[in-house]
Structure 1
Amino acid sequence: MTNNTTRLDHIVLWVADPVAAARFYETAVGLEPTRVTEFTEGKVAFPSVRVNEETILDLAPRTFAARMTMLPGSADSAGHPVNHVCLSLPADAFDALRVRLGEHGVPVSDIDHGLSGARGAATRSFYFRDPDGNIFEARHYDD
């Protein structure tokens, strides 16, 4: 990892229950939760889950919206989801995610082929929702 290139650091997702959301992302999606204990102890405002060594998803409680004062109107963003977040995975992790989501009863879309993304046309992709309604795309590319 180098500090002098542009990269995605984090995405903040609004969730009803950050601990339950962290558990979903750990058990159904396979992401590593961070700061959950600190959140439950009141030491941090929200927990996160690690996508990789460079990127996390922050799981902000909707009740935290009033504290979002970094720009005028920021507090109004609670409940205004982005269209979707895309996770790019190796082929075996893509397959394992689809199986894990099924084991957790999470509905998934059919598999698409050739959808365009940051690395060109994806080999396969599918969509699913987290318990708070955030939409995720999972995809993999042939390397």
Structure 2
Amino acid sequence: MTKNTMRFDHLVLWVADPVAAAAFYETAVGLEPMRVAEFAEGKVAFPSIRVNEETILDLAPHSFAPRMTMLPGSVESAGHPVNHVCLSLPGDDFDALRARLEEHGVPVSGIDTGLSGARGDATRSFYFRDPDGNVFEARHYED
């Protein structure tokens, strides 16, 4: 991949409690939290979680909405989750994520096959919600 190739950098999720959300993503999903202590100390506006070396999810508290003034109507977006976020994982990690979610009591959907995505048709996928109602799809493409 070249430096000039467009990439997905981050997505902002509205959450009720960013510290609790970061803990969920760390323990149940297995993602690395970032800037949680700084957020708790009031040094940054929100924490994030790292998906991979190029992509993060920002965990914006609903109280952050008044600062969303970059476009008309941005303030009103608080509390409106996106349809879903899809995470692509290798086979072993896919299985480990599903098991970890079930261990944490997170309801998961059945396994779907052949759903189309960025890399073609996925071998298998399932869906789950975070504590704020944001929907995630986990998928595995044949290696």
- TM-score by shorter chain over 0.5: yes
Inter-partner Cα distance in structure 2 for 1:22 and 1:74? 23
Q: Please state whether the residue corresponding to 2:100 is helix, strand or coil.
A: helix
Inter-partner Cα distance in structure 2 for 1:61 and 1:3? 32
Once the 2 structures are TM-superposed, how far is the Cα of residue 14 of structure 1 from its aligned partner? Answer: 0.1
Q: Give the 4+ runs in structure 1 shifted more than 2 A.
A: none
Where structure 2 has 5 or more consecutive residues not aligned to the other structure, the ranges are none
**What amino acid is aligned across from residue 113 of structure 1 in structure 2?**
T
Structure 1 equivalent of residue 88 of structure 2: 88
Inter-partner Cα distance in structure 2 for 1:98 and 1:142? 17
Once the 2 structures are TM-superposed, how far is the Cα of residue 53 of structure 1 from its aligned partner? Answer: 0.3
Task: String of CA shifts for 1:91-137, please: whole Å, max 9, x gaps.
Answer: 00000000000010000000000000000000000000000000000
Inter-partner Cα distance in structure 1 for 2:43 and 2:74? 23
Which TM-score applies when normalising by structure 1?
0.98
Q: Please state whether the residue corresponding to 1:42 is helix, strand or coil.
A: coil
Task: String of CA shifts for 1:12-53, please: whole Å, max 9, x gaps.
Answer: 000000000000000000000000011011110000000000
Structure 2 equivalent of residue 114 of structure 1: 114
Q: Please state whether the residue corresponding to 2:42 is helix, strand or coil.
A: coil
Structure 2 equivalent of residue 66 of structure 1: 66
Structure 2 equivalent of residue 128 of structure 1: 128
- CA RMSD, aligned part only? 0.9
Structure 2 equivalent of residue 103 of structure 1: 103
More off after superposition, 75-84 vs 28-37:
75-84
Structure 1 equivalent of residue 45 of structure 2: 45
**What amino acid is aligned across from residue 129 of structure 2 in structure 1?**
R
Inter-partner Cα distance in structure 1 for 2:91 and 2:66? 41
Once the 2 structures are TM-superposed, how far is the Cα of residue 3 of structure 1 from its aligned partner? Answer: 2.7
Where structure 1 has 5 or more consecutive residues not aligned to the other structure, the ranges are none
Q: Does 1:137 align with 2:137?
A: yes
Q: Please state whether the residue corresponding to 2:14 is helix, strand or coil.
A: strand
Inter-partner Cα distance in structure 2 for 1:39 and 1:3? 31
Which TM-score applies when normalising by structure 2?
0.98
Q: Please state whether the residue corresponding to 2:97 is helix, strand or coil.
A: helix
